[in-house]
Amino acid sequence: MLGTVIQKLPMSERKPEKIPLPTKPPELPIKAPVPGDRPFSLFVESIIQSGTRIVQTEIENRLLTLLNKLQELRHSQILVYYSIESIDHEDAKQFYELITLYKDLGNLDLYLLSPGGLSDPAFKIARLCQQYCKGCFTVIVPYYAKSAATILALGADKIFMGPTSELGPIDPQLIQTVKGRKQAIPLLALKQAIDSIKEDIKANPELALLYKTLIDKIDPMAYGLFEREVLSAQQYAEQLLKTRMLKDDPEKDEKAKNIAKNLVDWYKTHRYVIDMEEAKNKETLGLALEDFDKDQWDIIWQLHLLYDAFLRAHSTQRDKAIKIFHSTKFKLIRQIPLEPYLTSESEIKKEPQTE
């Protein structure tokens, strides 16, 4: 029988060993978290906290998995425009690059999140979807699609909304950039303020001097421009509605006009939440909504949480990720620098936006 012999030296004959100190802590294998039974939002946060080495890859892999699954359920091609900043002309250009990757689009779903922005590129994006989609064009709203994004959604055959979805009134903004800071003044609020001042002065002419300082700050040329912007946004809404959602309605002209007018005049605040019930309300809007599907909605909501995390994961100390254009074939992220640049008073820019 063989044994193992261990030779032990007396303590006096032993020499101290030199044990090298580790230059860096040992690397542990990184495992991606799994959803388990917890809320999906907590699972997404656990991905964010798991370290930058896997967070972007893990989120992107899960996004593609969910997109493919939702496409199979809906028998459609899904294109994603997910933005936490205003819609601008560059967005329309990038969306064109995305949609032209698909030669034969049957059913098209636009997964849309946006706070609003310029009405012109919003209209253009809607038109691109209408032109390239040969089947049913649906806009999916996971959380919010406000103002100019609402105009975009009106270009669809149907809108898919859930418990958290909201559209918004069409309310153009007076955007002023002064020393790197943007100030947004709702045009309709400005108009109401001017009308109120006129009524006060008419009732009491002595108030004219009191209001003079305030009135002097209003650029009459800009005010005229933004008033035209309201009419333009309303016209865009009417045209889009008549092309798809109301195309087979014998009263489409009158209905489109009423819906667009109500989106401009009916709601009393720029932030008003137009949820599922209000969107379906025939006395005000009566929009065509897709029947709610719980299984599909769960995926839509998970995608929203992942896209939000995706933008955070691609933000750095110097740049903030604000927009993503995405599909199973395409990914583009737009960023802005976090450090604002200063402008002189002569470089103040004013641009109409439908925020």
Show Cβ contacts of residue 96 under 8 Å, excluding neighbours closer than 6 positions: 128
- 147 exposure class (CB count in 10 Å sphere: 0-12, 13-18, 19+): buried
- What per-residue confidence (pLDDT) applies to 179? 60
Mean pLDDT by 10 residues, the chain (355 residues): 38 45 44 59 68 72 95 97 93 95 94 93 97 97 96 98 96 64 64 78 82 70 70 94 97 97 88 95 96 96 94 82 93 79 34 47
Distance CA 137, CA 122 (A): 16
- What per-residue confidence (pLDDT) applies to 25? 43
Distance CA 169, CA 216 (A): 29
Q: Hey, what CATH topology would domain 40-353 get?
A: 2-enoyl-CoA Hydratase; Chain A, domain 1 (3.90.226)
- What per-residue confidence (pLDDT) applies to 344? 34
Domain boundary assignment for the chain: 40-353
Q: Which long-range CB contacts under 8 A does 190-195 form with residues at least 24 apart?
A: 190/218, 190/223, 190/226, 191/227, 194/218, 194/223
- What per-residue confidence (pLDDT) applies to 68? 97
Q: Which of 236, 106, 215, 218 is CA-nearest to residue 172?
A: 236
- What per-residue confidence (pLDDT) applies to 31? 47
Residue-wise burial string across 290-324, b where 16 or more C-beta atoms lie within 10 A, e elsewhere: beeeeebbebbbbbbbbbbbbbebbbeeeebbbbb
User: Residue 173 has which token pair?
Assistant: 């903004």
Residue 270 near residue 171, CB atoms below 8 Å: yes
Q: Which long-range CB contacts under 8 A does 345-348 form with residues at least 24 apart?
A: 345/178, 348/176, 348/177, 348/178
CA distances from 125 to 92, 200, 253, 335 (A): 6, 43, 22, 20
What are the beta bridge partners of residue 77?
108
User: Residue 152 has which token pair?
Assistant: 């975009």
- 156 exposure class (CB count in 10 Å sphere: 0-12, 13-18, 19+): buried
User: Residue 96 has which token pair?
Assistant: 């064109």
- What per-residue confidence (pLDDT) applies to 39? 78
